[in-house]
Amino acid sequence: GSFYDLAGNPFNGSYNCFQTGAGVDSVIPQILSVTPLNGATGIGPNNPVIVTFTKSMNPGTFGNNVAMYTGSTLYTQSYGYSNDGTVMYFNPGNLPWGTTFTVAVNQGVTDLAGNHIANTFTSTFTTMPQPVTTRPQVSSMRPGSGATGVAKPTPIGFFLSQPMNAATINSSTLL
């Protein structure tokens, strides 16, 4: 089909005025978020460790440029990433209890166009202390077991294997 101007004249010709092409991507990628949050404490040992970028990254540049540390000691460089390259996650397994970790992404990481992140990124978090899973026990008592001739008003003291919740101890719990 032809098309016409307002006077009814048909358009005559074909013109190539420009050609589209790939533009230069010079936008610097950034870290959008990290999980656990920077400074977080009480993190469970199976919590995922995730870094999210503002754009698709080149996973081939992660290699020696991403890591988790405990202090200055390398903990892991084992990682995975999303299909679109915007999410990188560590595969640390079970994290040790009561340990502070640093997540590091250095400037060697690039997006698909080769743009490097502007600055080395670090974030820290601390896992929760190991929960107590044993029942408390009386480790010793005063007067000692088998003592004889103890005066009636002598207070009895129990020494327990772990701290107790004082709100749960009353005259009905001690017989």
Q: pLDDT at position 113, please?
A: 96
Q: Write the Ramachandran bin of 58: left for phi over 0, alpha for psi from -120 to 50, otherwise beta.
A: beta
Nearest residue to 95 via CA among 42, 44, 167? 44
Residue type, 107: Q
Q: pLDDT at position 34, please?
A: 97
Residue type, 27: V
Strand, coil or helix: what is 166? helix
Instruction: Give every strand in the sheet of 100-105, ordered side by side.
Output: 40-43, 121-127, 100-105, 66-70, 73-76
Residue-level length of the chain: 175
pLDDT band at 39 (very low <50, low <70, confident <90, very high): very high
> What is the average per-residue pLDDT within 10-26?
72
